Amino acid sequence: MRGVDPAWLPDEVFRPIGTRRTVIRGSGPLVDTVHGELAAACARYGGAVSREPEAHELLLELDGSLGPDDSEGFTYERGAGRATVTASGARGLLYGFFHVVRLGEEAFLGEPVRETHRPAVGLRMLDHWDNVAVHPVMGQVERGYAGGSLFWEDGRARGDLERVAAYGRLLASCGINAVAVNNVNVHEAEARLLTDRIGEVAELARAFRPYGIRTHLSVTFAAPIVLGGLATADPLDPEVRAWWAAATARVHEAIPDFGGYVVKADSEGQPGPFAYGRTHADGANLLAAALEPYGGTVHWRAFVYDHHQDWRDRTTDRARAAYDHFTPLDGEFAANAVLQVKHGPMDFQVREPVSPLIGAMPGTRLAVELQATQEYTGQQRHVCWLGPMWSEVLRFEPEEGASVGELARGGLVAVSNVGDDPFWTGHPLAQANLYTFGRLAWRPDAEAGGILDEWIGLTFGAEAAEAAAGVRAVMAGSWRTYEKYTAPLGVGFMVQPGHHYGPNVDGYEYSPWGTYHFADRDGVGVDRSVASGTGYAGQYGKRWAEVYETVASCPDELLLFFHHVPYGHVLKSGKTVIQHIYDTHFEGVDEVAEARREWDALAGVVDPVRHARVAELFGEQLRSAREWRDQINSYFFRKSGVPDERGRTIC
């Protein structure tokens, strides 16, 4: 196999810059990074870069006259064949440079413009669920579908910092500015990264720093016990507080621009403040206090629920858990504590409503967590471009006039989908999810389709003009296609327990995880109404609470998430629920077959190695989609006894 794939930064995209004369003004490590990029492009294509005022077609200017400046915005101006980027902060210059790269020739030749760009969200972060040591069940990367970790191998730092730097460069080019380098499920080897192994984290931080990326670390709440030898991790205990303060001081010594901690506490077996009768706010504030002197932030995850539930107990509803746990604590979190909330109330299903926690805690900084790694969306064996889903989430307005993108004051976070795979993401087309996340985090109201086109234009470089329509046809609708052949109408799960790949309708139905569909001979779905169900619908503000409360007003795509309805219930689409299930499952498979034909037709147009890899994966996607179709359709045919009105074969 050839070397590492350049993803959306093939040499070709630097040609417009590399053939021109550029002047770059300013100093500092990030300016040096941009200078290095320019010098490499010019060496390839014959242009020139200078740090002195000279004749030029591109001017990149850092106006650092006001002293060190962390701002990320820039001004871009073009006219008469020339382009200028001006920024007051070095990160702004870096982002302005990549803006010019993205525009290509148009950066110089388009109509005269003067635009100011700045990110809508300050923290744009990737969380890695990378284990330092191989976990017996979860492997090197938990829920990773792209090989091993970029950072760790068999209990040690890999030391391949070139690959980490190349990753940092890709991330910077789409606007990401923070990375958490280890799993939130913190096992023993990972725990020690905080103390005696902080040097390994510092190495990663050194590789990321030239790209404006700050490094964050997942820590265990029990660190004072497991690492410090204390008898307790009680957040109000003075010794515990002193331990965290001292540990954090040492972290800061090793990594002066350290971003902060990520914590999964009292969640799926991880330790937390409950053991001491303390609250999540007590826990978060303990770490916030330790980080505060250094400008660090604690990201405290809100993924807290009972995973030892009695499935026979119909009153407990996992969807309610985050809201029930956290809203009473609104206003109690320190200023540098961010509550990190998954975008939906359950767990990254192909379709979920937006978490009612978002918008319900005005006195708390929230970060919204998305999942780029395709745990429940085809595990990077299926094409599933998540842009449209994320865009819907980010544009959703929990209250009139305030979108999720705007409410995410503490940042936008995605669980990363990369590994040491030569294509970074296993499935080459999954690179688009990473890119799209970065661009949406910069501008949550951006058109997802425009981002896809941008990604295609960059990734397919010289071939893009010919390949664009085909690639777009394969990817643009792929999330809806995936939804069609998997769990219907928002009900979720129905996956194989444990690894979560492939269908198993009742896989979690009689388990303690709280993820049920309640299908019986009469109907299917979870009654989460206030009137007769778990009351979850009432966790929303008035407008959405009303919409979700009744079968009549609930949108089709979420119907089975909010209501238990008979198979003969007629949807807004005019179809019965059972016929919708049959039809969408047949359609989903047909759409995969069609996408595969589109891809096959690109043979000879796109790079052959990439083409072959995707073509091979389509074989598996089609097999799996059929398996989903047949199991779901048969399951509901057997439960309901209702035949397909179109007479197709369902066993």
Q: Which helix (H) or strand (E) holds 152?
A: strand 152-153
CB 291 within 8 Å of CB 297: yes
Could you give the string, one character per residue 318-347, with x where binding to ligand GCW holds by CB under 6 A and - elsewhere? -----------------------------x
Q: Pick the closer one to ligand GCW by CB: 145 or 348.
A: 348
Measure the CA–CA gap between 529 and 559, rounded to whole angstroms.
11
CB of 450 to ligand GCW, least distance (A): 29
End-to-end alpha carbon distance in the chain: 43
Q: Pick the closer one to ligand GCW by CB: 307 or 575.
A: 307
Measure the CA–CA gap between 552 and 571, rounded to whole angstroms.
9
Could you give the string, one character per residue 527-546, with x where binding to ligand GCW holds by CB under 6 A and - elsewhere? --------------------
HEC string for 262-304: EECCCCCCCCCHHHHCCCHHHHHHHHHHHHHHHCCEEEEECCC
Q: Across the strands, what pairs with 262?
A: 218, 299
Q: Pick the closer one to ligand GCW by CB: 190 or 347.
A: 347
Q: Pick the closer one to ligand GCW by CB: 129 or 582.
A: 129
Q: Does 460 bind ligand GCW (CB under 6 A)?
A: no
Among 97, 244, 348, 385, binds ligand GCW (CB under 6 A): 348
Residue type for position 310: D
CB of 371 to ligand GCW, least distance (A): 7
Residues 247-266 that bind ligand GCW (CB under 6 A): 264
CB of 269 to ligand GCW, least distance (A): 10
Residues 129-148 that bind ligand GCW (CB under 6 A): 129, 142-143
Q: Which of 468, 368, 446, 383 is nearest to 414 (CA)?
A: 368
CB 8 within 8 Å of CB 431: yes
Can 268 be counted among the known catalytic residues?
yes
Contacts of 168 (CB under 8 A, 6+ apart): 179, 207, 208, 210, 211, 213
Could you give the string, one character per residue 171-210, with x where binding to ligand GCW holds by CB under 6 A and - elsewhere? -------------xx-------------------------
CB of 415 to ligand GCW, least distance (A): 7
CB of 485 to ligand GCW, least distance (A): 21
Q: Pick the closer one to ligand GCW by CB: 207 or 370.
A: 370
CB of 392 to ligand GCW, least distance (A): 20
CB of 369 to ligand GCW, least distance (A): 8
Measure the CA–CA gap between 622 and 192, rounded to whole angstroms.
43
Q: CA of 377: how far to CAs of 79, 359, 624, in Å?
A: 44, 26, 12
Q: Which of 175, 269, 276 is nearest to 232 (CA)?
A: 276
Q: CA of 651: how far to CAs of 183, 624, 626, 634, in Å?
A: 43, 17, 13, 6
User: If you compute the radius of gyration of the chain from its CA atoms, what whole number of angstroms results?
Assistant: 25
Contacts of 263 (CB under 8 A, 6+ apart): 184, 218, 219, 221, 283, 284, 287, 298, 299, 300, 301
Measure the CA–CA gap between 259 and 176, rounded to whole angstroms.
13
Q: Pick the closer one to ligand GCW by CB: 264 or 563.
A: 264
Contacts of 172 (CB under 8 A, 6+ apart): 94, 95, 98, 211, 212, 213
CB of 621 to ligand GCW, least distance (A): 21
Among 57, 266, 317, 375, binds ligand GCW (CB under 6 A): 375
Q: Does 303 bind ligand GCW (CB under 6 A)?
A: yes
Q: 260: left (phi > 0), else alpha (psi -120 to 50), else beta?
A: left
HEC string for 597-632: HHHHCCCCCCCHHHHHHHHHHHHHHHHHHHHHHHHH
DSSP state, residue 214: E
Q: Across the strands, what pairs with 300?
A: 263, 339
Could you give the string, one character per residue 260-299, with x where binding to ligand GCW holds by CB under 6 A and - elsewhere? ----x-----------------------------------
Phi, psi (5° rounding) for residue 170? -60, -40
Q: Does 508 bind ligand GCW (CB under 6 A)?
A: no
Could you give the string, one character per residue 403-432, with x where binding to ligand GCW holds by CB under 6 A and - elsewhere? ------------------------------
Q: Which of 87, 85, 84 is nearest to 57 (CA)?
A: 84
Q: Pick the closer one to ligand GCW by CB: 513 or 635.
A: 513
Catalytic residue among 268, 313, 600, 616: 268
Residue, CB closest to ligand GCW? 347
Can 483 be counted among the known catalytic residues?
no
Q: Pick the closer one to ligand GCW by CB: 57 or 347.
A: 347
Could you give the string, one character per residue 75-114, with x where binding to ligand GCW holds by CB under 6 A and - elsewhere? ----------------------------------------
Q: Pick the closer one to ligand GCW by CB: 31 or 194.
A: 194
Catalytic residue among 12, 266, 375, 420: 375
Can 463 be counted among the known catalytic residues?
no
Q: Pick the closer one to ligand GCW by CB: 212 or 272.
A: 272
Size of the site for ligand GCW (CB under 6 A): 10
Residues noted as catalytic: 268, 347, 375
Interface with ligand GCW by CB under 6 A: which residues?
129, 142-143, 184-185, 264, 303, 347-348, 375
